[in-house]
Homo-oligomer: A and B are copies of this chain.
Amino acid sequence: MENENYQQLTRTFLRLSRFSHLSAIAGWDMFAMMPPGGSAARGEALAELGVLQHQILTDKKVAQWLTAAQQEDLNDDEQANLREMARAHHQAALLPESLVEAKSLAGSRCEHAWRTQRPGNDWQGFSTNLKEVVRLSREEARIRAEAKGVSRYDALLDIFEPDMTSARLDVLFADLKSWLPDLLAQAVEKQSRQTLIAPQGPFPTEKQRESGLEVMRMLGFNFDHGRLDVSAHPFCGGVPDDVRITTRYNENELLSALFGVIHETGHARYEQNLPRQWPGQPIALARSTAIHESQSLFFEMQLGRSKAFLQHLLPIVIENFGIQPAFELDNFTAWNQRVKPGFIRVDADEVSYPAHVILRYDIERALIDGDIEVDDIPALWDEKMQAWLGLSTKGNYRDGCMQDIHWTDGGFGYFPSYTLGAMYAAQLFNAARSALPGLDESITRGDLNPLFGWLQQNIWQHGSRLSTTQLIQQATGEDLNSRYFRQHLTARYL
């Protein structure tokens, strides 16, 4: 048979994708639907499936096919797919099965306990579980680092961002550090002279949900292939044919859930528009977490909080909650562009957001590289929050180092994606604007199709066909840099 080894690989990865489907749906259910008593059995079931997927992916036949397929006559897409297959295999083959299972179980346990420990501000209880997660993540990092000849943290970073290193992150973040604190201070100072009218609640959950669904429709979410639900920590899950996004409602607060929905819809549209011509193949998956975050931040920040878009969001808000002074366009726009340093990353404005990310990056990198221990986290957190945003989290673990879900299941190396995503988003929006001269006018008219068409053309349809570097070069004509992010923040906030 022609390309026999490659064909064997595509069959194996199709099979794996079906197991990933079940894992994605059971994972979504765990966060969005599952009653608390279902947790232990679910954790065990997912760990069992994880072990199976690991076995299939690391089977020595896969290694043989990968080697043999290098000699086969493959077109460019097939070669790209082979590259992604090899990457997935090698990433997995480094880890012993026992570590995969132990990580999955420790992660489920820590995440599940965190759901009640966080509201209870129970750092003691949480840190006990977290230490086990950190121990296993360090073990993973050690194994990966030795195999690749990179630092331990870089070995984990590579899982999420193939082209990224901490050396490169340090350069990008040092650049941000050189101008962002000043820009933040100026923006805060400038806004201190504004008098804004706050939206008055309550905002009934059902109406918030309806607004969210309406804005999803406006943003092109395909409800034939996805749904909106509720979870404690909003996310985008499921599979490309069935994308599950979540949000959370607070009846006293209107915009948090609504912009959460806009953010997750950005993720969802990327997933729903990934290429379909390679079912179950790695080439058809999203490129990386930072590119994923670039899409959600493109929707939430670049598009979502622009006045041009807000004037089309406003009628949805008014339709659901009635007219009130806060819903006058200029006030509504200014309200959605407030810069207000706060404790919570997911509620942060885009100017102070990088502080939250760089703080976590510094801590998780030191933690994985063994320079600090779990017990050191709260003091470091407090020190860095004071330095960046002038806020104290002493004794307030709930709104400090316990606020995020990522570390609970060992997701070290993910946080930088958010700020990389913000930079990518600004760079992409700038490129779209250059490519489409009437873009701002079309958004002002409420026609989002040119913008989405550009994303489809330049990002979504490519899946993992190109490397991140190629993708961004092809879309924007240059490498990732912070220039457009700075331009965007300056234009919007100063």
Contact = CB atoms under 8 A, between A and B. Distances in A.
A115 to B, nearest CB: 14
**Interface residue range, chain A:** 20 to 34
Given A25-B26, A226-B35, A227-B35, A241 B41 contact: yes
Contacts of A52: 52
A18 B224 contact: no
Contacts of A25: 25-26, 29, 42
A26 to B, nearest CB: 5
Given A41-B241, A42-B242, A241-B37, A48 B15 contact: yes
A72 to B, nearest CB: 26
Interface string A24-37: 01100100011111
A222 interface: yes
A46 B23 CA distance: 11
Number of copies: 2
A141 to B, nearest CB: 28
A18 B222 contact: no
A345 to B, nearest CB: 29
Given A38-B242, A40-B241, A225-B38, A21 B45 contact: yes
A16 to B, nearest CB: 9
Contacts of A22: 22-23, 26, 45-46, 49
Nearest to A15: B48
Most chain-B CB neighbours within 10 Å: which of A33, A46, A223, A242? Answer: A242
Contacts of A15: 48
Contact of A29 (B29, B42, B46, B225): B29
Given A21-B45, A48-B19, A49-B19, A37 B225 contact: yes
A411 B200 CA distance: 55
B241 A36 contact: no
A41 B14 CA distance: 11
Contact of A37 (B36, B46, B222): B222
A59 to B, nearest CB: 14
A328 interface: no
A21 B39 CA distance: 12
Contacts of A29: 25, 29
A42 B25 CA distance: 10
A44 interface: yes
Contacts of A227: 33, 35
A239 interface: yes
A49 to B, nearest CB: 6
Most chain-B CB neighbours within 10 Å: which of A19, A22, A26? Answer: A22
A80 B29 CA distance: 34
Nearest to A47: B18
18 contacts: A18-B41, A19-B48, A21-B45, A22-B22, A22-B45, A25-B26, A25-B29, A35-B227, A37-B224, A37-B225, A37-B242, A38-B225, A38-B238, A38-B239, A38-B242, A40-B241, A41-B242, A52-B52
Given A29-B29, A35-B223, 7 more contacts: A18-B41, A22-B22, A22-B46, A22-B49, A34-B242, A35-B227, A42-B242
